[in-house]
Structures are given as C-alpha cells and as structure tokens.
Amino acid sequence: MSTVVTGITELVTNDPARDGLLGVVAGAALVVAGDRVAWVGPEAEAPAADLRVDLGGRAVVPGFVDSHSHMVFAGDRGEEFAARMAGEPYAAGGIRSTVAATRAASDEVLTAQVARLVAEMRRQGTTTVEIKSGYGLSVRDEARSLAVARQFTEETTFLGAHVVPTGVTPEAYVAEVTGPMLAAAAPWAKWIDVFCETGAFDVDQAREVLAAGAAAGLRGRLHANQLSEGGGVQLACELGLVAVDHCTYLSEADVAALAGSGTVATLLPGVEFSTRQPYPDARRLLAAGVRVALATDCNPGSCFTSSMPFCVALAVREMGMTPEEALYAATAGGAAALDRDDVGWLGVGSQADFAVLDAPSHLHLAYRPGVPLVSQTWVGGRPA
C-alpha cells in the first residue's frame, strides 16, 4: 500500500543531495510505501499511489528527534521551580527529591506518566525520543525504569550515575552502578550516561562508569559542563562518544575538542529557560564546525517541557541560531546524537516520520513561538 501526500507548500528534507542546509522542495509531494519514504519531489511529477492525502497548503518537516529526556519519574517539583523564579539558584541535588517518589510509584503509574509525556511529544511533532533512567538509583528501580522506557522507544539510556543517593559514599555507589546495577539495567538499555558535574560525578568516576558500560555492550554519552566548566566535554571527545549534552560553559579547549572529535554537542535551551542560567553559545559552536543537536531534556526538575518547537524558538531567540540551523539541529542533529541515519530527514529510504505544520513555512516554528502549529504527526508512514 502506497500513499502520495500532496498540497505541501514547503517540504524540508534535510537531504544533503539537495540545495541548502534544509534541502527544501517547494510545491512538493512525497510518496510513502509501508513505513518508508519512496519518493520526494515536485507535486507535478509525483507518481501514482494507492491513496492520496492533500495537506491543503501546509509545510512538512522531518519528525523532531528528541535525543535527551528523563521521563520515567513520579512526583512534582513545581515548588522548586517557583523558588528558582524567586531567586534561589539551581543545583543538581534537587534530583534526590524525585527519587523517593519514583521508588514508591508502581510500574503502572510510571508507565502512565511516560505514555502521557510521549503523547504530548507526538502532538508537537516528535517522532523519535530517547528516554533515560536515573530517578531510581537502586538496582531494582533503575532496571524497572528502563523496562518502562523500553515500551516506548528503543533509545533507552541507563543513567544510574545521575547523583549519589543519600547515605552512600561516592566510591560505594560507583561500585554498585558498575556492578549489580549495570548487570540488571543492561538488558533494557542501549546507552549509558553519567552526570559529570560538580555535585554529581567527577571525570575519573565518569570514565569508570563509561568503561564498565562499554564492556557490557552499552554505548556512551555524557551530561557535562551544565553548571560550570569542567573536564566532562573533553572526556567525551577523548572517548569518541557520539554526543555530550548541555555544553553550557565551554572553554576554548572544549570547543576545539568538539570540533576535532565529531562528538555532537546537544544543547538544551529549555533548561536555561527554567533555571535562568546563561544559554549555550550555539553560534560559537557552529562557527567552529561543531555539529549541534537540540533536545528538550524533559524532566521534573530543571526543565519540564516536552516541546521541541519551543526549544527551536529558544535556540533562535537566545542562542544565535538561524531558524534553518535550529530546525536542522532538532531533526538531523538529534538523529546524529543517536547515531541514526534513518530518521531526521525525508528522502528515499528514510523512515516516513514527519510533522505537518499549520503554516506555509518552517520559519513559523520560531516566528510564532508557543502556538500549536503541528496539525498532524506521521510515524512510520501513518498519522499517529
């Protein structure tokens, strides 16, 4: 069964074989066969198909690829947000306040929470999402958090090294993370992550956790340089990790390491919106040739948004990105951060994952911030 989708004023393909960063096709159509794109081009040249869908003059963009989220949790931290807005600084220790609620929640409660947030993401055009553990911080609760996450995505990340739980020494906890916790989590995880930051884990501890994860068959990624300059970004580059996330505070050496390594810098502007920290300087990274991704970091503490369009608008307004660069980072950039070549673009052979905008152009994502522009989200060749 094939479907030709017509009435597209502007089709963003992200196809490097086409002109411009976004590979835009005006007056376009695309043909979907099964869960894949079978043809892309001008509507006047579209081949016949079994079904025809007319979008009536709307823009189409690749589905957003959200490569950083923490959605397996229970409880609420709205009061913490209000305190920050009243002037209290953000610190990593707030994570512990979510741990007790998550440990106490049933699998059914956690699953319902993730389902609700994934549905929010779908309505806003996100078609691929990474989900981390990290609010269990025990063997049982990290493993079951990942089992919950795996119901919704293949991009699951073991983040037992989020913070050190109360009452445990860092040395003892790292031994638990790299031993029984990793063994329990590995069957449910594709990636392993560490929060390498003041108040969490230092570079040596991060290196030990990532090495143990690699030995267990998990690929590494890293939270780094969110609260201050440190060694996390350069560790990610040294180890050849696919992505390093946050990158808020960067030295010249950090930027040079990113540019020379190919490690994707995943920027999370919703965090800075929620914490009132300085925004990352995306312009500086792009000028150096660093590949940049955008993601939500959807979590109950530092950034409780599920909206990739909101992050695109923030990146344009606050981080020096053009609308084209921000959209590319939120789609193809996110795919690169997950080492995926089947999503984040629209061309022959890609997954037929795309968002239909109730607008004539992708520019409206930044031009009309906060407006629910996504009228349809297609996942695997079908409206979700």
Tell me, what CATH number does 85's domain have? 3.20.20.140
Pair 374, 309: CB distance under 8 Å: yes
The mean pLDDT of 41-57, rounded to a whole number, is 97
Q: With CA atoms as reference, report the closest residue to 349 among 31, 37, 24, 35.
A: 37
The band of 215, judged by pLDDT with boundaries at 50, 70 and 90, is very high
Any binding-site annotation on 246?
Answer: no
The band of 65, judged by pLDDT with boundaries at 50, 70 and 90, is very high
Is there a single domain that holds both residue 149 and residue 235? yes
| Number of helical (H) and strand (E) elements in the chain, helices listed first | 15, 17
Is the per-residue pLDDT at 92 higher than 60?
A: no
Pair 134, 162: CB distance under 8 Å: yes
The percentage of the chain sitting over the pLDDT mark of 70, rounded to a whole number, equals: 99
The pLDDT, as a whole number, for residue 322 is 98
The mean pLDDT of 162-185, rounded to a whole number, is 96
The mean pLDDT of 349-368, rounded to a whole number, is 98
Residue reference for tokens 């079904």: 51
Residue reference for tokens 């699951």: 156
Is there a single domain that holds both residue 313 and residue 356? no
Any binding-site annotation on 77?
Answer: yes
The pLDDT, as a whole number, for residue 373 is 98
Is there a single domain that holds both residue 354 and residue 327? no
- Looking at 338, 356, 373, the residue that finishes a domain is 338
Is there a single domain that holds both residue 94 and residue 166? yes
Is there a single domain that holds both residue 72 and residue 214? yes
Is there a single domain that holds both residue 22 and residue 68? no
The mean pLDDT of 250-254, rounded to a whole number, is 98
The band of 88, judged by pLDDT with boundaries at 50, 70 and 90, is confident
Any binding-site annotation on 364?
Answer: no
Please list the residues that pair with 243 across neighbouring strands. 264
Give exposure, 70-84, as e/b (b: 16+ Cβ within 10 Å). bbbbbbebeebbeeb
The pLDDT, as a whole number, for residue 257 is 98
The pLDDT, as a whole number, for residue 159 is 98
C-alpha span between 291 and 285 (Å, rounded): 8
pTM above the 0.95 mark? yes
Is there a single domain that holds both residue 280 and residue 373? no
Q: Calculate the average pLDDT of the chain.
A: 96
Is the per-residue pLDDT at 323 higher than 80?
A: yes
The pLDDT, as a whole number, for residue 91 is 62
The pLDDT, as a whole number, for residue 97 is 80
Is there a single domain that holds both residue 159 and residue 300? yes
The pLDDT, as a whole number, for residue 130 is 99
User: Between the CA of residue 36 and those of 195, 332, 354, 382, what are the distances in Å?
Assistant: 36, 17, 11, 10
C-alpha span between 255 and 96 (Å, rounded): 31
The mean pLDDT of 317-342, rounded to a whole number, is 98
The first and second tokens of residue 36, run together, are: 């894949």
Domains contained in the chain, number = 2
Residue reference for tokens 């930051």: 197
CB atoms within 10 A of CB 17: 7
Lowest mean pLDDT among 87-91, 237-241, 317-321, 358-362: 87-91
Is there a single domain that holds both residue 348 and residue 259? no
Handedness of CA 215, 217, 221, 224 (dihedral sign): negative
Is there a single domain that holds both residue 309 and residue 364? no
Any binding-site annotation on 245?
Answer: no
Pair 283, 321: CB distance under 8 Å: yes
Any binding-site annotation on 68?
Answer: yes
The mean pLDDT of 349-366, rounded to a whole number, is 98
Is there a single domain that holds both residue 304 and residue 360? no
C-alpha span between 89 and 86 (Å, rounded): 9
Residue reference for tokens 């073991």: 158
Domain that residue 190 falls in? 64-338
Is there a single domain that holds both residue 109 and residue 26? no
The pLDDT, as a whole number, for residue 93 is 57
The first and second tokens of residue 332, run together, are: 């193809």
